[in-house]
Structure 1
C-alpha cells in the first residue's frame, strides 16, 4: 500500500532546530536577518518569497524584501548584492531572473558566508569536499524527507530527472557519497529513452517542471517517487507526476502540493540558522 510522504512534519522538525538557534542568538541581543531580492514580477517568484517572508515572521527572523524593476541592469543588481550582503546574515536572489541578466554571475557576487541558498560556485564546489557547510535548500529538503521517513538509499538505484545547480547536481553528488551510498543516474531532455532508466529506479526524483510528465507506466513495483517539479497550465499548478493509478505501483510518494515544497522553505531557514551560528 502506498505511503504518502507529507512534508509538514519534516518542516516542523527543521523549524524546531532553527528556532532554538535563533532564540539563542536573540538572547545575545541580536536579531537574525535575511534579505531577499526579486527582479520583475514573476508570479511564482513573488509567491515563493512571500512564503519565505511568512516563515521568517514565524521564526522571529527580520526579513528585508527588495523588489527591483524587471529592467534592472546587471551592474546595478551586482552593486546592490554587494552592499546588502554587508548588512544581513543570509541573502537570496530569487530565480529565475529576467533573460538579460546572468544568474550565475550575480549569484557569485554573494559572499559564501551569507549565501543561504548555497548556490554560489564556492558553496557548490565545497560539496565535493568532506567539510561543506550548506546544501541548497531544495536538495536538503529531499534528503530530510528521505531521512525522516527512513527510506534506505544504500545500493539503491536512484534516478533524478532534470539538470540544475539547484537540485540535480547537489543531490547526485550527495546521494552517491559515503553518507548515502546510492547508485545515481541523472536523466534530462536529451536522454533518448527515459523510461528505460526510470523503470529500473528504486527511487525516482523528478525536477523537470512539466505537468504530469510521468504516469504509472514509468515505475517499477515498490518504487519511491519524489515530485519536485512545478508547472502552470491554464492557471493551475501541477507536479511532474500523473498520480492516476500511481498508488498501484508506488510504495512511497511525496504529494504535490504538500510534499517537498513546505520542507524547502524550512530548509532555507535551517541554512540561515547554521550561518548565524557559525558566523
Structure 2
C-alpha cells in the first residue's frame, strides 16, 4: 500500500478550513501566521511559498517577512519580539536553515512558546518529552498521522527511527513512546543498522541519504515512513529505496507526495491550535 500524503493532507486542510469558518463567526477574527525568511535558499523559498499558498487557501491570515542574507541578528530578534506582542499573530515561524552569523538557538528561544508553531522552543520540547500537552513539531506530527492511517493502534509495536535530529528524530521518538511503541533511535554511529531495521514493525527514516534503506533491511509487512528529500540525477528521491522496499513493506510513503504535504498541513493545524489556546 502506498500512503497518499497529498490526499491525507488535503483532508486535514479541509477540516481546518471548516474550523476557521466557525472560529471567524465566534471570534470575529482568524488565526494569523507570520513566517520570517532570511536569505535566498531555494528550498526554503519553495517551502515558504507553499506555506503561504495553503494558509490563504484555508483562511489563515498569512504574512511573510523577507530579509537579506546579511541582516543583523538583533534586527531579526527585535522583529520576533514585536510579533510576540501582536495579538493578530497566532503563530511565528522562522524558516531554517539560518545564515551562519545568526544564532539559531537565540532565535528559537525568542519566540514565545505559545506562538511557536514549529514546536522547537525548549519549553515545548520539554513538555513533549514529559508527556504533557505541547506544540508538536510539524514533520513528526505529520508522520504520526500517516502511520495512524495504516494502523490505528501502535501499542507494543517496535519502531526504529533513523536519525536523531531535533527537527524530526528526537520528537518522533517521543511521539511514538506516547503511543506505547518500543522505540530504537539509530544514527550515523549505530553499529549494524541493517539488523536494527530488520526487527522493526515501523521504520521512520530521516538521514538525508538517497535510497539508503534497502529492501533486505525491511521485514515483511513493516510500515515505512520516508522523511528524506534528496535531489539526484534520477530526480527527487527519499532515504528509502522505494522500488525495493515497496515489495516487502505493508505500507510506504512516496517521495515526493508523502511526508512533505503533511508537514505543511500540520503547520496550519498548529497555527489554528495556537489561536484556540490564546482565545480560550
TM > 0.5: yes
Question: Which structure 2 residues correspond to residues 77-92 of structure 1 after superposition, within 5 A?
Answer: 77-87=76-86, 88-92=89-93
Question: Which structure 2 residues correspond to residues 78-117 of structure 1 after superposition, within 5 A?
Answer: 78-87=77-86, 88-117=89-118
- The residue that corresponds to 1:272 in the other structure is 271
| TM-score in terms of structure 2 length | 0.93
Q: Secondary structure at the match of 1:244?
A: helix
Kept in 2, the 8 Å contact 1:21–1:277? The answer is no
Deviation of residue 130 (structure 1)? 4.1
1:115-173 superposed Cα distances (whole Å, 9 cap, x missing partner) = 11111111111113343132111111011111222354221111011111121111111
> Which stretch shows the higher mean deviation, 266-275 or 17-26?
17-26
Aligned equivalents of 1:116, 1:131: Cα separation in 2: 16
Gaps of 5+ in 2: none
Aligned equivalents of 1:47, 1:235: Cα separation in 2: 20
> Which stretch shows the higher mean deviation, 242-251 or 103-112?
242-251
Aligned equivalents of 2:85, 2:19: Cα separation in 1: 21
1:103-124 superposed Cα distances (whole Å, 9 cap, x missing partner) = 1221110001111111111111
- The residue that corresponds to 2:23 in the other structure is 25
Aligned equivalents of 1:126, 1:96: Cα separation in 2: 24
1:14-45 superposed Cα distances (whole Å, 9 cap, x missing partner) = 22332233212322321321100111111111
Kept in 2, the 8 Å contact 1:215–1:244? The answer is no
- The residue that corresponds to 1:166 in the other structure is 167
Deviation of residue 176 (structure 1)? 1.2
- The residue that corresponds to 2:10 in the other structure is 12
Aligned equivalents of 2:200, 2:153: Cα separation in 1: 13
> Which stretch shows the higher mean deviation, 64-73 or 40-49?
64-73
Kept in 2, the 8 Å contact 1:17–1:270? The answer is no
For the aligned residue pairs, the C-alpha RMSD in angstroms reads 1.6
- The residue that corresponds to 1:136 in the other structure is 137
> Which stretch shows the higher mean deviation, 133-142 or 148-157?
148-157
1:180-204 superposed Cα distances (whole Å, 9 cap, x missing partner) = 1101011111113211211111110
Deviation of residue 251 (structure 1)? 1.1
Aligned equivalents of 1:125, 1:213: Cα separation in 2: 31
More helix by share: 2
Aligned equivalents of 2:117, 2:198: Cα separation in 1: 36
Q: Secondary structure at the match of 2:22?
A: helix
Deviation of residue 84 (structure 1)? 2.1
Task: Specify whether residues 66 and 234 from structure 1 end up closer, same or farther in structure 2 by C-alpha distance, changes over 3 A only.
Answer: farther
| TM-score in terms of structure 1 length | 0.93
